[in-house]
């Protein structure tokens, strides 16, 4: 093993896979997408790869090929289970691996998010994380009817002066939501529960704290109704592509997932993330920056390139996504991962084109290749997600410290 820090490995799970035609493959299980057994099989395969974590995709509206709303297509997977509830179902029957559901904060009360994720940390014994998502879509807002938002019709630039104030407000609200969630996690001190039958005291009320948050979009007094999570602060992650989301990650997260497409872009993104940290005055540990990578791996019968071409033909269009797509051997994918790690990326999050096929190939071929190169761990060596990621595991409680 070199002196380079260990590479972290994540897997992003979404339906039948990230390719729009994935559900048509012979090994796909489209009739099981809404069953616990399907998701359990996926996470256990990711455990076989000794992945640090899985993220579970979710949004507030049906999947669509268009940003601005439903596309009415019937030839692609539509519909999802609630990601946080899926993670909660998987928590007691999985081991080692971190469970990181996507939870959207726009239109969602941070009090509910806080106690749901704290509960996940309890049921997983300290393996919970959270991928924060902000929603600027008018179709999402229409589901709730509480606010009017402008129609954003692609192509658009989120830094365009006409829409930039709205976009900034959405992400400022997301940052406030994360702050409230983090305060609520701390609103119980670790030893607030006394459980002393002799004195009739279950809790020490002096160790429960009001969070007293006042912001533009909500005010929250607290405390939470759920005791402080086992990790103290479950891991917070953000997917970011531009300045404003980079700043959200720098203000609020432990890990940021980014989407470089080439060597120069990968270097530029690292600089942008560090610049965002400087602009928001981040203190403490720097963000861990992970690169997202969509993969179509070789099988013994068919090359990754041929698989992608065949899937593209089924879908009717070449597959493009926000992340770079690599179709090829485990060795070729490992070369790309190693190059990004050498630049300074702390981890990589893989998006399997087809589930379960590409996930099984990650566990069978790619993960062993990464271990052979000394990049990743061979076994789970920490009892919490924070521990796996090398984050501090003894997280001070802000209210206990102040008291």
The pLDDT assigned to 2 comes to 47
147-193 pLDDT, tens digit per residue, is: 777 777 666 666 665 778 888 999 999 999 999 999 999 999 999 99
How would you class 205 by CB atoms within 10 Å of its CB: exposed for 0-12, middle for 13-18, buried for 19 or more?
Answer: exposed
Position 298 pLDDT exceeds 60: yes
**Least-confidence region, from 133-137, 230-234, 261-265, 272-276:** 133-137
Nearest to 43 by CA among 17, 15, 18, 11: 11
Per the annotation, binding residues are 58
The pLDDT assigned to 187 comes to 97
Q: Are 182 and 141 in contact (CB under 8 A)?
A: no
| Residue count of the chain | 403
The pLDDT assigned to 23 comes to 97
Q: Are 117 and 84 in contact (CB under 8 A)?
A: yes
Per the annotation, binding residues for FMN are 58
DSSP 10: E
Q: What is the mean pLDDT of the chain?
A: 93
Nearest to 11 by CA among 40, 65, 47: 47
324-355 pLDDT, tens digit per residue, is: 999 999 999 999 999 999 999 999 999 999 99
Domain boundaries defined on the chain: 8-135+234-314+322-402
Q: Are 76 and 359 in contact (CB under 8 A)?
A: no
The pLDDT assigned to 147 comes to 78
DSSP E strands in 116-271: the ranges are 129-133, 193-196, 201-203, 213-214, 219-220, 235-239, 255-258
89-120 pLDDT, tens digit per residue, is: 999 999 999 999 999 999 899 999 999 999 99
DSSP calls for 210-239: ---EE-SS-EE----SSPPPTTSS-EEEEE
Instruction: Give the architecture-level CATH label for domain 8-135+234-314+322-402.
Output: Alpha-Beta Barrel (3.20)
Prediction pTM value: 0.94
Percent of the chain's residues with pLDDT above 70? 96
Count the Cβ atoms, other than its own, within 10 Å of residue 387: 17
Find how far residue 387's CA is from the centre of its chain: 17
- HSE-CB for 12 with a 13 A CA cutoff: 26
12-56 pLDDT, tens digit per residue, is: 999 999 999 999 999 999 999 999 999 999 999 999 999 999 999
The CA-CA-CA angle for residues 324, 329, 331, to 5°, reads 95
Percent of the chain's residues with pLDDT above 90? 83
The pLDDT assigned to 200 comes to 86
Q: Are 244 and 168 in contact (CB under 8 A)?
A: yes
């Amino acid at each position: 093993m070199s002196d380079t820090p260990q590479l972290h490995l994540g897997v992003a799970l979404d339906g039948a896979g990230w390719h729009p035609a994935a559900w048509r493959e012979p090994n796909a299980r489209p009739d099981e997408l809404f069953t616990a057994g399907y998701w359990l099989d996926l996470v256990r395969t990711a455990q076989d790869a000794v992945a640090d974590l899985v993220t579970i995709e979710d949004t507030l509206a049906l999947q669509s090929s268009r940003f601005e709303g439903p596309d009415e297509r019937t030839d692609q997977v539509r519909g999802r289970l609630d990601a946080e509830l899926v993670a909660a179902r998987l928590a007691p029957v999985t081991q080692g691996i971190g469970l990181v559901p996507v939870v959207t904060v726009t239109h969602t009360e941070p009090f509910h998010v806080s106690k749901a994720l704290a509960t996940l940390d309890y049921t997983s014994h300290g393996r919970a994380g959270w991928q924060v998502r902000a929603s600027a879509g008018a179709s999402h807002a229409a589901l709730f009817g509480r606010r009017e938002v402008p129609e954003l019709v692609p192509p658009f630039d989120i830094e365009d002066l006409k829409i930039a104030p709205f976009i900034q407000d959405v992400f400022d609200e997301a940052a406030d939501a994360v702050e409230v969630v983090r305060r609520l996690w701390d609103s119980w001190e670790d030893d607030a529960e006394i459980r002393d039958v002799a004195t009739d005291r279950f809790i020490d009320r002096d160790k429960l704290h009001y969070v007293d948050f006042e912001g533009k979009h909500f005010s929250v007094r607290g405390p939470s109704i759920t005791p402080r999570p086992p990790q103290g602060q479950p891991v917070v992650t953000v997917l970011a592509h531009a300045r404003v989301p980079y700043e959200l990650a720098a203000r609020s997260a432990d890990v940021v997932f980014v989407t470089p497409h080439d060597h120069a872009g990968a270097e530029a993104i690292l600089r942008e993330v560090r610049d965002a940290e400087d602009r928001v005055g981040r203190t403490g540990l720097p963000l861990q920056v992970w690169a997202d990578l969509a993969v179509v791996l070789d099988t013994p019968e068919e090359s990754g390139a041929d698989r992608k071409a065949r899937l593209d033909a089924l879908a009717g269009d070449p597959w493009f996504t926000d992340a770079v797509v690599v179709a090829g051997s485990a060795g070729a994918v490992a070369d790309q991962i190693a190059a990004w790690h050498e630049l300074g990326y702390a981890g990589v999050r893989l998006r399997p084109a087809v589930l379960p096929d590409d996930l099984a190939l990650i566990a069978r071929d790619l993960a062993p290749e990464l271990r052979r190169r000394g990049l990743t761990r061979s076994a789970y060596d920490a009892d919490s997600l924070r521990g796996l990621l090398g984050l501090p595991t003894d997280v001070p409680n802000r209210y206990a410290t102040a008291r």
